[in-house]
Structure 1
């Protein structure tokens, strides 16, 4: 794959994509596959060094609104086909997603979601606490009212997805400029005329912002409000387990947001700390593990005292309603954006890459993404918030 730190970037391009994470390289791949030429992906670090750097990423279509269900379900199909298109092993493990529910209100809300999902081809179902315990032997069923399970969901390796898309894009002629930071964007009236980087200027008429948690800064360069804020999320790995852990679903205790699943020779633990302040700090701080252990003592007691051997911290790119920003600026038509996925970017990246391709080519995407336009907050048209879990 042709990816390097350019002393000078190409002098011109048709499209500059800002961000070399999964969303940026998916967009580049889909554009190149459609015959678009002169594409440059600009990444200030290494590919996938931002929010896409998770060691394991969940993939699912269990959402509460049709648009997110469609994006998730289409992406699931693309991930299953990834060994053929674009051609890479991403270690997809279709173990299912298991949501554990401990109140009648949760069951009612999830049952409505299941009905909607089933109508869109997602094989999710409400199951009993006993069945949940059989699917995941770590689970204590005390206090469980029900659970929701979809066997089509699972997890894969984001780093392998980023590399797979990037290699295919580079093979199709996309220039991938790593260690290249965007410093400014030139406009003339309602047109984009160029992108300034610390490696040189690129004349262009289209910019696609896929900068994740840093997207607000890119939007500010052209006066487009992208209300994305960074929030740290952390996870930890257990020491190797003997005997090995059983193969279990991606399991989430909905009330506490504690989650766990298989990871190589052990388990991976995670939880969304409700008191985490906003900011770009990605220092891993093990104190949050006590929150996980507290939840585990109640819901999966065997996990509470498992020894951990390090972890990882990254950034969620969060919007006010925890839904993505996807669209084209009305005031500056050459500025497109795909950001603010609030923890759902990896699982929606293949479908969103298709959408960005179609927006650039001015053709109808496979689904109407207009509700995800960034101007919805100005017009008071926020979408029903998705639960802030993985």
Structure 2
């Protein structure tokens, strides 16, 4: 079979070649699954993954997300050995700056839960927050939460590591392939139809990120995922930049920054952003970003800024992921809707989906992340750490 041709059948077809899809492919073939095929419309990681800010952490507000984040963080620390790729991991910590009593109380509860689950986060006072992140103006900050094991790494390198090892172990990864339909018969998905041929499949896995609703619809599965644009900018080189800069988040505004080369990467969410596939970079967010910088890191106003890029969050109604197996078709699995957390949760999600596909019990019960939570009234507590 040539590098460009598609197999006519597979045990597993994965739709989506970002960090989630490549992680799933790697974990499946590592476990001995043969005939794994991954399909990606663009280049690997060209959707949301390579436009991510690259943060990795275990600071979340509920037990399930903490467990998934911690498991993934552990995998990132060993990525050089397994699957075998340098990812430029910087464990400089995540620093959440808190400006209201309600936020302080919520983070105190969250840190207590995180500590019970083995995460080394802690509440700190304003003076320590300023010492850890000296670019920050802490006026109005009441307290902060800090976890020294968190940090950031390079998304493209993570995708490369998973994809290269998956290929070495026998997976077929094809780019430039558009999925047109998913054929079903009875309660089974039987084939994936593409613009380059049809692949009969025993199992189909949707890892298509912001495009997952369309893939789900092809199989008759309602995946409530909406795309929402998020943007980043960069500073010019800063000669006096401290060697260690934690990933610093002003929780009230969602403004954040971390070191990127000799400068900083900056970002924040835009509550006025309309959902949709808006992949163009827009300057409409700049007044809000400028106000946040002036409040929380005013020295950056004297540094040159350059536009970065626009990417897509894949947002669910409660900002929690969708992970599970559909009831119909029963061989259709999904891992999507991560609402900005897909990159940092990808290693653990690859494990989880591998186990679901093999009818094994994952290391955590992801039943609460099934899509039926939105129709059964059993929705997960909305995730608050959504930066």
**TM-score using structure 2 length:** 0.98
Out of 82, 87, 99, the residue aligned to residue 102 of structure 1 is 99
Cα distance in structure 2, aligned partners of 1:128 and 1:276: 33
Distance apart, 1:251 and its partner CA: 0.2
Distance change (3 Å), C-alpha of 1:231 and 1:194: same
User: For 1:286, what is the secondary structure of its paired residue?
Assistant: coil
Kindly provide the CA deviation profile for residues 266-301 of structure 1, in whole angstroms up to 9, marking residues without a partner as x.
001101011001111111113312211201211111
Distance apart, 1:389 and its partner CA: 3.1
Q: Which runs of 5+ in 1 are unaligned?
A: none
Given that residues 293 and 305 in structure 1 are in contact (C-alpha distance below 8 angstroms), is that contact kept between their aligned partners in structure 2? no
User: 4+ residue stretches of structure 1 with deviation over 4 A?
Assistant: none
- Alignment match, 1:79: 76
Given that residues 17 and 210 in structure 1 are in contact (C-alpha distance below 8 angstroms), is that contact kept between their aligned partners in structure 2? yes
Distance apart, 1:65 and its partner CA: 0.3
Out of 22, 27, 50, the residue aligned to residue 25 of structure 1 is 22
Distance change (3 Å), C-alpha of 1:18 and 1:3: farther
Cα distance in structure 2, aligned partners of 1:78 and 1:126: 25
- Alignment match, 1:210: 207
Given that residues 293 and 303 in structure 1 are in contact (C-alpha distance below 8 angstroms), is that contact kept between their aligned partners in structure 2? no
Superposition pairs of residues 304-319 of structure 1, within 5 angstroms: 304-319=301-316
- Alignment match, 1:362: 359
Kindly provide the CA deviation profile for residues 315-336 of structure 1, in whole angstroms up to 9, marking residues without a partner as x.
0000000000000001211100
User: For 1:237, what is the secondary structure of its paired residue?
Assistant: strand
User: For 1:141, what is the secondary structure of its paired residue?
Assistant: coil
Distance change (3 Å), C-alpha of 1:205 and 1:279: same
Cα distance in structure 2, aligned partners of 1:191 and 1:343: 31
Distance apart, 1:237 and its partner CA: 0.6
| Pair 1:270-2:267 in alignment | yes
Distance apart, 1:307 and its partner CA: 1.2
| Pair 1:247-2:244 in alignment | yes
- Alignment match, 2:286: 289
Distance change (3 Å), C-alpha of 1:289 and 1:388: farther
Cα distance in structure 1, aligned partners of 2:312 and 2:276: 9
- Alignment match, 2:116: 119
User: For 1:24, what is the secondary structure of its paired residue?
Assistant: helix
Distance apart, 1:216 and its partner CA: 0.3
| Pair 1:375-2:378 in alignment | no
Out of 6, 11, 35, the residue aligned to residue 9 of structure 1 is 6
Cα distance in structure 1, aligned partners of 2:262 and 2:277: 31
Cα distance in structure 1, aligned partners of 2:284 and 2:213: 30
- Alignment match, 1:334: 331
Kindly provide the CA deviation profile for residues 211-246 of structure 1, in whole angstroms up to 9, marking residues without a partner as x.
000000011011111000000000001111123344
Given that residues 3 and 176 in structure 1 are in contact (C-alpha distance below 8 angstroms), is that contact kept between their aligned partners in structure 2? no
User: For 1:204, what is the secondary structure of its paired residue?
Assistant: strand
Given that residues 322 and 388 in structure 1 are in contact (C-alpha distance below 8 angstroms), is that contact kept between their aligned partners in structure 2? no
Aligned length: 387
Given that residues 3 and 177 in structure 1 are in contact (C-alpha distance below 8 angstroms), is that contact kept between their aligned partners in structure 2? no
Q: Which runs of 5+ in 2 are unaligned?
A: none
User: For 1:316, what is the secondary structure of its paired residue?
Assistant: strand
Given that residues 55 and 159 in structure 1 are in contact (C-alpha distance below 8 angstroms), is that contact kept between their aligned partners in structure 2? no
- Alignment match, 1:157: 154
Out of 84, 87, 90, the residue aligned to residue 87 of structure 2 is 90
- Alignment match, 2:44: 47
- Alignment match, 2:33: 36
User: For 1:368, what is the secondary structure of its paired residue?
Assistant: coil
